[in-house]
Amino acid sequence: MLFVPEDVFDLCLDRAKKLMGSAKYNSWLSNASFRSFSDGVFTIGLDSKIRANFVSHNYKDNLEELLREASGDPDISVVFTHLPETLSLGKVSNSSRHELFSNYLKPGYVFDRFIQGPNNRLAFATAYSVACEMGRSSSNPLFIYGGVGLGKTHLIQAIAHRIKTNQPDKTFCYISSEEFLTMFLRAMIPNKNNFIDMEKFKDKFRNSHYLIMDDVQFLSNKETTQDLFFHLFNDLYLRGRQIIVTSDRPPHELEPLTERLISRFQSGMVVDIKPPMLETRLAILNQKLSDENINLDGDVVFYLAETVKSNVRQLEGAVNLLAANIRIQNFVPTIDNVRSLITEYLGSSSRRLNPSSITSVVGEFFGVNPNTLKGKKRKREILIPRQVSMFLLRDLTSLSLEEIGDYFDRDHSTVLNAIKRVNAMISEDPFFNRKIIDIKESLLG
Ligand code: ADP
Ligand code: MG
């Protein structure tokens, strides 16, 4: 959750008032109150059954739309209640200060379910000790880095879970740097959609005992965000609060980040996670297979552990695929069957990030035919998704500017411009930024 539900609700009412006019608004919505927000559903209280029914009939769609717009979450829905507050359903508001942002925590990402091996033992031990005792100078800040799918997010969410259960008096803020950026940009926008007050935004961080930020490499290149982050970071640090960050590379390679931020990261504990060795992959595999209730012959398990080795996420993907096949298609997991399934799986996951798949996903997101992206049209509807495709090809594949240009039949300077343009739009427009994140997730997912 990237927003404070109460604030989004207030903003939505403000806008409803403008759109409906005061007279109508006063008759129907002036006493509407925020009751709760849970699983994407806002519960709105009204003072009588008649009012609740009327509003539900006549304004539900509009309110939903306003809430979606204000929160940036397209899946928001609304229910109405006329029951007094103490009786209203879904009273459990999840916006308590303690759990701010913690909705993003995955239930299974706990220490107990994190398999240790030589590749991650130090990261695990440090994360665990930090979760039990905050702010010890030798491990503050804690900087965890490693390649994709190796368990960084799992580990730092485990810290958050642990704080929730074992140190309920401590507050934490768990956020990815991309979300931080989106929030920051939203707080900066004057008037329209400005439901996050900059001071409130900062307070949320200042009041945390733990600041846990995932994928800090995305702060790169955004100087104002880095500045704000640095100050928040310093302020927390000086007050003995614990900071934990992850990144896909070590501090000294976070080049576009300012020197002072990098040296701050280096001043605490820096630990890495490496790809797991065979033994650890076997242990992880056995855990996932037992989660899925799948029994496999030893040689099949061994084959999987030996073959699927680039990262743990890929290993999980293989188990999920196997589970789906066994359940849906009466697939018998003999070594031969599993081998052909996995061969295809490994082929397709490396095939997914290429020019034609990226343009087709981008096309889908922007509602344009992917073939037109390769064409000559310069209309804005086509131009932007084309530039986004170039940007993502550069970001997600190892293709050079020239190679990307070749695919679109353009030269490398056009690609470079496209990348600059997209970077600028990302910094200027939080909704655009969100869209890019969604596209990336769908490509990498
Ligand atoms: P990263 O953030 O480094 O890209 P994630 O934390 O998202 O990686 O891990 C990818 C998946 O692999 C997650 O579902 C996670 O639970 C699982 N995973 C990674 N490492 C381990 C481990 N050591 N034990 C159990 N599961 C793991
Ligand atoms: Mg991660």
Q: What are the backbone angles phi and psi of residue 368, rounded to the nearest 5°?
A: -125, 155
CA 312 / ligand 1 centre spacing (Å): 6
Q: Is 114 in the pocket of ligand 1 (CB under 6 A)?
A: yes
Candidate from 312, 315, 316 with most ligand 1 atoms within 8 A of CB, to mutate: 312
145 lines ligand 1 (CB under 6 A): no
Of 420, 417, 396, the residue nearest 405 (C-alpha): 417
Ligand 2 centre and the CA of 145: distance in Å?
10
Place of tokens 């994407």: 40
Please tell me the pTM assigned to this model.
0.65
148 lines ligand 1 (CB under 6 A): yes
Residue 146: CB atoms within 10 Å? 23
Write out pLDDT tens, residues 323-335.
Answer: 988 988 889 999 9
Least Cα distance to 307 among 284, 336, 333, 281 occurs for 281
Strands, sheet with 41-45, edge to edge from the N-terminal-most edge strand: 33-38, 41-45, 77-81
* Tens digit of pLDDT at every position of the chain (445 positions): 566 777 788 888 888 888 888 888 888 888 888 888 877 888 898 888 788 888 888 889 889 988 888 777 788 889 888 766 543 222 233 333 334 454 578 889 999 999 999 999 999 999 999 999 887 878 999 999 998 899 999 999 999 999 999 998 998 999 888 778 777 776 766 555 555 567 777 887 888 999 999 999 888 656 777 888 888 899 999 999 999 999 988 998 887 777 888 899 999 999 999 999 999 999 999 999 999 999 999 999 999 999 998 889 989 989 988 998 898 888 999 999 999 999 988 876 666 788 888 998 899 889 888 889 988 888 888 999 999 999 999 888 778 888 899 999 999 889 999 998 998 888 777 778 888 888 887 777 6
Q: What is the residue whose two structure tokens read 């740097």?
A: 177
| Residue 154 CA to ligand 1 centre (angstroms) | 5
Task: Decide: 295 and 333 in contact? Cβ < 8 Å.
Answer: no
Ligand 1 midpoint to CA 248 (Å) = 13
Distance separating alpha carbons of residues 282 and 74, to the nearest angstrom: 40
User: What are the tens digits of pLDDT across the range 4-37?
Assistant: 777 788 888 888 888 888 888 888 888 888 888 8
Residue 304 to residue 292: CA distance in whole angstroms: 15
Q: Are 95 and 5 in contact (CB under 8 A)?
A: yes
Number of Cβ within 10 Å of residue 297's Cβ equals 12
SS3 state at 273: coil
CB distance 278 to 306 below 8 Å: yes
- CB of 426 within 6 A of ligand 1: the answer is no
Question: What ligand 1 atom has the least distance to the C-alpha of 150?
Answer: 3
For 344-374, give one letter per residue: b (16+ CB within 10 A) or e.
ebbeebeeebebeebbebbbeebebebebbe
- Ligand 1 atom 25: residue of nearest CA: 114
How far apart CA 122 and CA 170 sit, in angstroms, is 24
Protein residue closest via CA to atom 26 of ligand 1: 114
Ligand nearest to the CA of 178: 2
